[in-house]
Amino acid sequence: VERAWYRRTTREPALAKLVTATQARTEPFHRWLVFKQAFSPGLVRRFLDTAAHLGGPTGDAPLLDPFSGTGTFVLECARKGVPAIGFEPLRASAFVTRVASATSFPPLPNLDGCSSWQEFAARLTEPLHQAALICVIASQQTARGELNKNAPPIIDALRDQAKTMEDDLRTPLLAQNPVLPGDGRTLAMLADASVGGILTSPPYLSRHDYTKLTQPYEEVYAFWHGSATETDPRKNQLPAHGSAPTARRRRSTDPAVSEIVETLTMIGEKRWSRTVGAYFQGVFDSLRTFHRVVQTGCPCWITIAGSRIKDVYIPTDTIVAEFATTIGFNVKEILVARDVTRNRRRFGSLSGVAPRESILVMQTT
Ligand SMILES: C[S@@+](CC[C@H](N)C(=O)[O-])C[C@H]1O[C@@H](n2cnc3c(N)ncnc32)[C@H](O)[C@@H]1O
């Protein structure tokens, strides 16, 4: 699989800054809540400007990001007046994206005497104010999910956040693009052939559980809106890291995935073997669903990264490209944005190979 597709990859180093969140820190709306795993609004603009057959034959079918995160896709579409819809199980992220469709920022209430986030939360009833506190608590975490001891006092950070949001809302969004709770693997709410294009980035296989970083501000959201009961947002997560809880899974019929799963089992990494099997099962289920909901001929771009887990090379982009072809996608290009590690090694007859972060440019046939 790797040999067949490797030749068809195109390196485009300029894409490296589009597959990371860096740009989001300075752009209106996107700077409210910056997620380490986000892609950049520039990637959305490239999709809107260059993807062929967007919106289907009538040109107005809504676009979709089934793994919405902090809503980079739906927000950027909304800034351009393009109808789009997102799905995201993490409730605080979806909430912040939703409230961005307001047209002005109401003045903060009297917050004198508040010190802990719970005391602030108790005084905040306006959704935009609640979103501002969620963003502040998110920004006070270190990259490891601990409280940053040098973070400014909540009151100062909240006033700054309110000012940023107020400034951005002076140019309100041009479309109301919803982000719904839901599972990107099934999209049960969406009818067949109902969307006019997809740009998305599912979670990447990784040693780190990035959902841990969202826990502190998910807790803030739960202060007003209750804990998730029937649908625990973390249970809906596509299993993507070593400690992910994985239910019994179907045995993969994909030869490349089976080879990885068997190798991991053979070297005693049973837990990783289960996670990797469940991860690809989730990604493949998502691809089948994307094929079901997208109108024929419309674009489907997927940002995805490979990894090296316990020294086992996992070329996720080429594995997904191969699978997508078997279910009726035309994979037009694999654009390689960057190597995920500097460490290049021999892999079979290929030399100098490293896991890549790539964009699969596909179209339904
Ligand atoms: C790589 S991030 C996407 C980031 C997004 N592109 C952005 O710019 O913020 C993957 C997202 O998928 C979400 N996710 C995980 N499992 C999911 C599922 N089964 N259905 C929908 N979303 C899911 C995660 O919570 C995470 O926010």
Q: Say whether 306 sits in a helix, a strand or coil.
A: coil
Instruction: Tally helices (H) and strands (E) across the chain.
Output: 11, 12
In this prediction, residue 124 carries a pLDDT of: 98
Q: For 11-35, give the DSSP string.
A: E-GGGGGGSSSGGGGGSTTTTSS--
CB of 97 closer than 6 A to ligand 1?
no
194's tokens:
């109902």
In this prediction, residue 248 carries a pLDDT of: 62
Among protein residues, the one whose CA lies closest to atom 3 of ligand 1: 69
pLDDT along the chain (365 residues), means of 10: 90 96 95 94 98 92 97 98 96 96 97 97 98 96 80 96 98 97 94 98 88 89 83 73 67 90 95 94 97 97 96 95 97 96 86 93 94
CA distances from 1 to 173, 219, 307, 357 (A): 43, 43, 16, 17
Of 17, 37, 97, 221, the one to substitute when testing ligand 1's pocket (max ligand atoms within 8 A of C-beta) is 37
CA of 111 to the centre of ligand 1 (A): 34
Q: Which atom of ligand 1 is nearest to the CA of 73?
A: 8
CB of 183 closer than 6 A to ligand 1?
yes
| pLDDT, tens digit, 9 for 90 and up, residues 90-149 | 999 999 999 999 999 999 999 999 999 999 999 999 999 999 999 999 999 887 777 788
CB of 289 closer than 6 A to ligand 1?
no
In this prediction, residue 199 carries a pLDDT of: 98
Among protein residues, the one whose CA lies closest to atom 16 of ligand 1: 237
User: Which residues touch 65 (CB under 8 Å, ≥6 apart)?
Assistant: 71, 72, 73, 74, 84, 85, 86, 87, 198, 199, 200
Q: Which atom of ligand 1 is nearest to the CA of 237?
A: 16
Q: Which atom of ligand 1 is nearest to the CA of 90?
A: 25
Q: Which atom of ligand 1 is nearest to the CA of 40?
A: 8
Q: Which atom of ligand 1 is nearest to the CA of 39?
A: 8
CB of 35 closer than 6 A to ligand 1?
yes
CA of 156 to the centre of ligand 1 (A): 30
Report yes or no: 179 and 186 within 8 Å, Cβ to Cβ: no
CB of 37 closer than 6 A to ligand 1?
yes
In this prediction, residue 289 carries a pLDDT of: 98
CB of 62 closer than 6 A to ligand 1?
no
In this prediction, residue 49 carries a pLDDT of: 97
In this prediction, residue 229 carries a pLDDT of: 61
In this prediction, residue 352 carries a pLDDT of: 86
In this prediction, residue 330 carries a pLDDT of: 97
In this prediction, residue 138 carries a pLDDT of: 95
Query: Exposed, middle or buried: residue 127 (CB in 10 Å: 0-12, 13-18, 19+)?
Result: middle
| pLDDT, tens digit, 9 for 90 and up, residues 135-170 | 999 999 887 777 788 899 999 999 999 999 999 999
267's tokens:
């070297």
**Tell me, what amino acid is at 312?**
V
Q: Which atom of ligand 1 is nearest to the CA of 183?
A: 20
Q: What is the DSSP letter of 241?
A: B
CB of 69 closer than 6 A to ligand 1?
yes
Of 30, 31, 63, 68, the one to substitute when testing ligand 1's pocket (max ligand atoms within 8 A of C-beta) is 68
CA of 203 to the centre of ligand 1 (A): 6
CB of 70 closer than 6 A to ligand 1?
yes
* pTM, 2 dp: 0.95
* Nearest residue to 31 (alpha-carbon basis) of 200, 164, 189, 172: 164
CB of 72 closer than 6 A to ligand 1?
yes
Q: For 10, list phi and psi in degrees, rounded to 5.
A: -120, 125
CB of 89 closer than 6 A to ligand 1?
yes
CB of 90 closer than 6 A to ligand 1?
yes
